[in-house]
Structure 1
Amino acid sequence: MTWDVALILGIDGLANGAVYLLAGLGLVLIFSVTRVVFVPFGDVAAFAALSLAAFETGRTPATIGLVLTLAVLATLVEVGSLIRRGETSRIPKAIGLWLLLPAVPCAIAWATAQFAAPQAVQVAASVLLVVPVSPLLARVVFQPIADASVLVLLIVSLALHFLLSGLGLLFFGPEGSRTSALASGTLPLGDGFSVSGQVVLMVASAIVLSALFFLVFERTVAGKALRATAVNRVGARLVGIRPTRTAILAYACASLLAGLIGVLIAPVTTMYYDSGFIIGLKAFVAAIIGGLVSYPLTALGAIAVGLVESFASFWSGAMKDAIVFSLLIPVLLLRSFMSTHSDEDEEELDQ
C-alpha cells in the first residue's frame, strides 16, 4: 500500500465515520433515555433516502403512506389507553398530537412532490417526513412495555426492524435508488489529490451537528431534561420531568438525525428498502465502544469504525464487515475486565 492509496482510504474512512458518528449519537441518545437499543434506526435513514429519490423522479414518496399508517395506529393506541384510564377529555389532544401533527410533514411532502420544488426543499421535506416515524413506533411498540428488561426491549426492537423491512418492501418496492449530489465540485488537497464536495459536506455536517447536539444538551431546558432522565429516571420524575415525554423527544431527535443521514448518503451509495440495517449495525459498534453512554467515546468509535472499514475493504472486500464487527471482541473483553462485579452478581451466577 502506498501513501497515496492510504490517503484516499483515510478520506473515505472519515466520510463513513461521519455517518456512523451521527447514527451512533442517535442510538446512544435513545438507549440512555429509554434503555432501548433502537435497531430500526438505519431503516428510518433508508426511508429518508428513498423519499428524496422519489422527489427527484417526480413521484410522491411512499413514506407518506407509511407515516399516516403509523399515525393511525398510534392514535388508536393512545385513545384506547385514555379510555381505559377514564381520561376521555384528553382524547382531542391525543388526536391532534398523534394524528394531525404527523400529517403536517406528510402534507408538506405531498405539496413538494406536486409542484416540483427545488432540491433544497426536497431535502428538507425528506428529513421532516421521517421525523415522526420513530416517535410513532415508540408509542405503538415500546411505550406499553417501557418497564420490561433490556433484553426484552432488544428482542422487540429487532423484530420491529424485520417488520419495517417488510413494510419498506411493500411501500417502496425492491428497486434501489441513488440521488444526485448535494454538493458539487471538489476540494483540492495538493499533489493532485482532491476531495469531492459531497464528502466534504458529509464530514462538515457531522461536525456541525455534533456541536449543535452538545449545545442543545448543555444550554436548553429540553436538553437538560434528556440528560436528567438518562442519569436517573426516578429522580427526574421526582423533580417534575415526565420520562414519557423525554422519551418521545429522544426518539424525535434520533429520527431527525436518521433523516439527515439518509439524505447525506443517498448520493454516494444505492439505497434499498433494507439498506439501513448494516448502517445501524456499524453505528451500534461505535455506540458499544462508547459504552452506550458516552457521546465523545461514541464519536471516536465511529471514526475508528469508518477507518477500519475503509482499509479492510482494500485488503479484503468480502471480509470488511466481519473485520469491523470483530472490533466488538476486544472492546467487550476490555470492558469486562474493567467493570466491577458485586457479590450479588456472583451469587446469581452460582445459582
Structure 2
Amino acid sequence: MSVRVEGLTKTFGPLRAIDNLSVTFQSGKISVLLGASGCGKTTTLRCIAGLEHPDKGEILIDDEAVYASERGIDQPPEKRRLGMVFQSYAIWPHLTVEGNVAMPLKAQKVPRDEIARRVKETLGIVGLLAHAEKSAMKLSGGQQQRVSIARCLVGNPRLILMDEPLSNLDAKLRVEMRQEIRHLQERIGATILFVTHDQEEAMSLGDEIFLFDKGQVVQKGAPEDLYFRPVVRYVAEFLGKANLFRVSVRLDGEGAAIAALPSGEVIAKGNIRDAHISREALCMVRPESWNVRSSDQPGLPAEVNEVMFVGDRRELRVATPIGPQTVVTYGYERFRIGDRLSLSVAADQAHLFQSEA
C-alpha cells in the first residue's frame, strides 16, 4: 500500500508548512518522517489522513487519488481507510480493554458476532487478549498504547499513521514499544508512516527515513545511509554527533584519494566517499569512527580535555590542531585528562561534502 505525494503545499498564514513536497512511501515498510518541531512532518501526516486540507497538490494511496486540488478530489478521513495512533492514548476510561477496541466497529454498525471475532483476533496480535475484560485505565502506559494500536488495527486499515506515539512513555518502555511495533509490522505486513523528532527512535525503527526541514525532505534513505552518507551538513548534524573540519583532496599516482589537513597531515587515504566532489571539502567523521592510538603513532595529535563514562562506552572531548573533536571508545581502556593520543580514520569512514555545504 504505497503512498505518493505530488507537489503538496500547505500554508498557515505566512508560514509555508509544506513546500511543494513530492515523495513516495513504500508499501509494506515503516517509513519514518523525522525532523525538528515545525519542519512539516506532522502536517504532512495530517494531510495524508485528511485532517488538514492542503492548498494544492495530490495525495495517492495505492494509486488512488484521495486528494487532488486540480481535479477537485478531497476524500474525508473516514473514506480513506486509514488507522491512526496519536501521542495521546485516547482511552475511554469507563470501558474495558475490549470495549475500547470495539468502539470503531460499533460506530460502523458491524454485526455483534463479527465485532467479537475481530476484537479477539486483534487483541491477540498486540498481546492483550488476557487483559480483554480489564478496565483500560488499570493498564500500564505501554499496555494502554497497545490498546490504542489495537483500536487502530481492528478496522483493517490499508495504511497506519503514527504521530509521536511513544513520546509519553519513559525511556525503557519506549525501547520496548519500538521493538513491539517492529515485530507487529513484520507480522501483519502493514505500511506504517511514523512521525518522530527522536533520532534514535527513527534509526532503530525505520526501514526508510525521510528527514524534513522547512517543509521539504532534505534526504531520504536507509538509516545507515543518512547517518554515514549525509548529503548536506544539516543531515550530518541532525543525526547524531558529527566532527566537521576542512580538508584538501588530491589523487595519488594510483588514483586513490588523499584527504589532508591544512597542515599537510594525511587524515584519510583510499576510496574516500565522494572524494571527487572538490579539491577543498568539508570532512565528517563520526565520533565512533576515530581510531585512537598512542601519541607516538602517525595521525592527528590530540589531548584529552574531558572524559565521560556512558555505560558501554566512553566519550572523550579532545583538543586537536583542527579544533575540538568528540571521540567514542569502547572497552575497558581508561583515559585521563591530559592524556596525549593520535587519531586516524579509515578511508570509508571519512565522508566529504562540498566546501560550501
TM-score normalised by the chain length of structure 1: 0.26
Structure holding more helix per residue? 1
Larger radius of gyration: 2
